[in-house]
Amino acid sequence: MSEAQKLIIFDTTLRDGEQSPGASMDRDEKVAIARMLERMRVDVIEAGFAIASPGDFESVQAVATAVKDSTVCSLSRALDKDIERAAEALKPAARGRIHTFIATSPIHMKFKLQMEPDKVIEQAVRAVKKARSLIDDVEFSCEDAGRSELDFLCRIIEQVIDAGARTINIPDTVGYAMPRQYGETIRQLIERIPNSDKAIFSVHCHNDLGLAVANSLDAVMAGARQVECTINGLGERAGNASLEEIVMAVRTRKDFFPVYTDIDTTHIVPTSKLVSRVTGFPVQPNKAIVGNNAFAHESGIHQDGMLKNRETYEIMRAEDVGWSTNRMVLGKHSGRNAFKSHLAELGVLFASEAELNAAFARFKELADKKHDIFDDDLLAIAKDSQQLHVAESVKLVSLNVHSETGEQPTAKIVLNINGEEKRAESQGNGPVDAAFRAINALIQEAPTVSVQEYTVNAVTQGMDSQVEVNVRVEHDNHIVTGHGADLDILVASAKAYLHALNTLSTVESRLHPHVH
Ligand SMILES: CC(=O)SCCNC(=O)CCNC(=O)[C@H](O)C(C)(C)COP(=O)(O)OP(=O)(O)OC[C@H]1O[C@@H](n2cnc3c(N)ncnc32)[C@H](O)[C@@H]1OP(=O)(O)O
Ligand SMILES: CC(C)C(=O)C(=O)O
């Protein structure tokens, strides 16, 4: 593609992004983000508003010193003192830009600036000339262009281009524009302004109606060749157009957009994470490109499709935007193929279809009860299910434990012993002791088995974690350890104890289940 088809990416995370209430960043944090943006090959980094405060001045200066490959820009009102301060802060820049602006909508001119439209044009022209006297690269913005009159925009833009502005930005400051209408405005401006070919038209859209990206892209179709945007869509009120969405839309739909960007997209996710960490603004999980779920697949039909061909459900590659990989999330909507494939990645191979089915059934039961299923949960299930065939003569059917302050706990247990259901009830010093005694009541030689160690581990973090219980038992100089996993600590304990007894019975071929 030709140079005329290059879409300039202007990142304003450090300026408009910082205008998100609560998102302020200190100088070093801004430099760290600016370096990431430079590595990503962002064309222009708006580092701040130099006159806003000494801190902002220092930040613009520090970014201008640190960054060499991207243009560094400072915002300024259409006032000499702002422009001089911006130029001063940008002195160390290899490439500096002054971005000066004034509002052009009737409501802003009348109530905020309290200026006649002709005076606004005069001030804009003076400001651009002043900026050009200090720096070559000058951008001019018509603040609230989205609510400005087209004829007035044509007049002011023609004059600021004559005054030396080389980038003309048409901001939808309050997020009022609609996609087709906004693109049409850009098209009309480029067509009607006689010297429009001397400037690059830029857009800067806010997300008040959730249309910032759509409006920006519509403007690109209409001839805009610079998009102002922010990482994670940060920005004043509902934010700005998000850089990652703009860049990936253009890249993914090369067939649709007549433009390209120079962005190295593999830096997108690390930069998003840095911005989120620095500002304390979490990224919503379903946020396009950078949300945790953006490349995660949970439902069985999707996972099955993905396993057969990734493109069945993905239009971009996770690796291309900086994720290490896409994710198959196992949850209650997942199917057997994804379950088997995920466990194979964890090194678990099922010996038979029956074993896979048993583990899959346990997984579905767990997924119904537990929100997040982690790899450790799956490994615990696999371990538990694979043990079932070690010795299945005794299986837990149900356990009911009653425990109350000041009273001895009672356990009622139902076991399946060689295909027959047997019941027992017992008290104990604690609920686990009561459960073990109830098991002992159904297995003749179990009371001669000594429990040497009993440990409980939470399999994953969180209150709804599965627990894994290990019970080490000794009988006739044989020591075995039983494992059991469940959301219920008592059920996990009973399973672990039974697993130990079953293993002993296999090892010794002597500890026969026996109904009293
Ligand atoms: C759409 C945008 O995002 S624009 C950028 C918004 N960002 C910011 O405002 C952050 C930084 N701002 C600040 O720190 C301060 O507002 C400052 C330093 C710029 C100005 O502070 P103050 O001098 O105390 O003025 P204050 O903020 O109260 O009011 C703004 C003044 O600038 C005037 N003004 C607003 N925009 C412009 C402009 N583009 N050109 C010239 N004057 C302007 C207003 O009319 C008002 O003038 P008045 O004091 O004569 O009524
Ligand atoms: C100053 C301009 C570019 C702006 O931030 C806006 O209009 O939203």
Contacts of 281 (CB under 8 A, 6+ apart): 20, 22, 23, 232, 234, 275
Q: Is there an atom of ligand 1 within 6 Å of 236 CB? A: yes
- Taking the C-alpha atoms of residue 392 and residue 17, their distance in angstroms, rounded to an integer, is 61
- Examine the domain organization and report whether 501 and 362 are in the same domain: no
Give the atom of ligand 2 at the shortest distance from the alpha carbon of 240. Answer: 8
Determine, yes or no, domain membership for 383: no
**Three-state DSSP class for 291?**
coil
Element containing residue 100 per DSSP (H, E): strand 96-103
Using pLDDT thresholds of 50, 70 and 90, give the confidence band for residue 354: confident
Ligand 2 binding residues, C-beta < 6 A: 16, 101, 141, 143, 169, 171, 173, 204, 206
Residue 159, φ and ψ in degrees, nearest 5:
-75, -35
Which ligand 1 atom is the nearest neighbour of the CA of 100?
39
CATH of residue 196: 3.20.20.70
Q: Is 464 helix (H, G, I), strand (E, B) or coil?
A: coil
Same domain, 256 and 321: no
The answer to the question of residue 451 being in a domain is yes
- DSSP string for 467-502: EEEEEEEEETTEEEEEEEEESSHHHHHHHHHHHHHH
Could you tell me the distance, in angstroms and rounded to a whole number, from the CA of residue 33 to the centre of ligand 2?
21
Which atom of ligand 1 is least distant from the CA of 101? 39
CA 272, CA 300: separation in Å to the nearest integer?
A: 29
Looking at residue 386, its pLDDT comes to 63
pLDDT, tens digit (0-9, with 9 covering 90-100), for 64-79:
999 999 999 999 999 9
325 and 457 within one domain: no
Distance of CA 376 to the CA centre of its chain: 22
User: What is the distance in A from the centroid of ligand 1 to the CA of 227?
Assistant: 24
- Nearest residue (by CA) to ligand 1, atom 37, is 77
206 or 484: whose pLDDT is higher? 206
Q: What is the mean predicted confidence (pLDDT) over 321-326?
A: 87
Strand partners, 426: 411
| Cα separation, 190 vs 357, whole angstroms | 64
**Residues 8-33, mean pLDDT to the nearest whole number:** 94
Query: What are the C-alpha distances in Å from 117 to residues 39, 110, 201, 344, 365?
Result: 42, 9, 22, 70, 69
Minimum CA distance residue for ligand 1 atom 29: 112
Residues 484-501, mean pLDDT to the nearest whole number:
92
**Do 473 and 430 belong together in one domain?**
yes
User: 57-81 burial string, b = 16+ CB within 10 Å, else e?
Assistant: bbbbbbbbebbeebbbbbbbbbbee
Report d(CA 36, CA 253) in Å as an integer: 25
Q: Whose CA is nearest to atom 39 of ligand 1?
A: 102
Q: Cα(154)–Cα(117) distance, rounded to whole angstroms?
A: 13
Q: Is the CB of 240 under 6 A from ligand 1?
A: no
Query: Which pLDDT score is estimated for 512?
Result: 39
Identify the domain containing residue 332 by its residue range. Answer: 296-367
Same domain flag for 9 and 158: yes
Nearest in space to 37 (alpha carbons), one of 218, 265, 342 = 265
Q: What percent of the chain has pLDDT over 70?
A: 96
Q: Which atom of ligand 2 is nearest to the CA of 143?
A: 7
DSSP 99: E
256: CA distance to ligand 2 center in Å? Answer: 28
Q: How confident is the model at residue 390 (pLDDT cuts 50, 70, 90)?
A: very low
Query: Whole-prediction pTM value?
Result: 0.77
Q: Do residues 272 and 306 both lie within one domain?
A: no
Note the pLDDT of residue 515: 35
Of 334-343, 374-383, 446-455, 486-495, the range with the lowest mean pLDDT is 374-383
Can you list the alpha helix ranges (DSSP code H) found in 395-469?
431-442
pLDDT over threshold 80, residue 385: no
Whether 30 is in a domain gets the answer yes
DSSP for 269-308, written as a single string: HHHHHHHHHHHT-PPPTT-TTTSTTTTEE-SHHHHHHHHH
Residue 42, ligand 1, Cβ within 6 A = no
Residue 288 within any structural domain of the chain = no
pLDDT at 369 over 60: yes
What 8-state DSSP symbol labels residue 206? Answer: B
250 domain-assigned: yes
Q: What is the mean pLDDT of the chain?
A: 92
Residue 461 domain flag: yes
Least confident of 63-67, 198-202, 351-355, 356-360: 351-355
Instruction: Say yes or no: CB of residue 370 within 6 Å of ligand 1.
Output: no
The reply to whether 244 and 110 lie within a common domain is: yes
Ligand 1 centre and the CA of 79: distance in Å? 10
191's tokens: 């067509």
234 alpha carbon – ligand 2 mean position (Å): 13
Could you tell me where the beta strands, DSSP code E, fall in 375-477? 394-402, 410-417, 420-427, 450-458, 467-475
The one-letter code for the residue type at 50 is A
How do residues 391-403 score in pLDDT, each as one tens digit?
A: 467 899 999 999 9
Q: Which atom of ligand 1 is nearest to the CA of 75?
A: 5
- Read off the CATH number of the domain in which 402 is found: 3.30.160.270
Same domain, 31 and 161: yes
Task: Evaluate whether residue 513 is within a structural domain.
Answer: no
Gap from CA of 51 to ligand 1 centroid (Å) = 10
Residue 445: its pLDDT value, please? 77
* pLDDT on residue 507: 57
| Beta pairing class for 327-328 and 467-475 | unpaired
Residue labelled with tokens 């002993």: 504
Q: How far is CA 122 from the centre of its chain?
A: 46
Say how far apart CA 161 and CA 181 lie, in whole Å: 24
Same domain membership, residue 146 and residue 10: yes
Which numbered atom of ligand 1 lies nearest the CA of 79? 41
SS3 388: coil
Q: What's the gap in Å between 18 CA and the centre of ligand 2?
A: 13
Of the three residues 254, 279, 304, the one that is the final residue of a domain is 279
Pocket test for ligand 2, best of 51, 147, 204 (most atoms within 8 A of CB): 204
Pick from 13, 141, 167 the residue to mutate for probing ligand 2's pocket: most ligand atoms within 8 Å of its CB. Answer: 141
Residues 54, 92, single domain; the answer is yes
CB 228 near ligand 1, within 6 Å: no
The ligand minimizing its distance to the Cα of 205 is: 2
Q: What is the pLDDT of residues 97-117, one digit of tens each?
A: 999 999 999 999 999 999 999
Please tell me whether residues 33 and 90 are part of one structural domain: yes
Residue nearest to atom 7 of ligand 2 (CA): 173
User: Is residue 380, in this structure, part of any structural domain at all?
Assistant: no
The residue from 311, 332, 367 where one domain ends is 367
Domain total of the chain: 3
102 C-beta closer than 6 A to ligand 1? yes
Question: 45 and 156, same structural domain?
Answer: yes
Single residue among 250, 279, 308 that ends a domain in this structure: 279
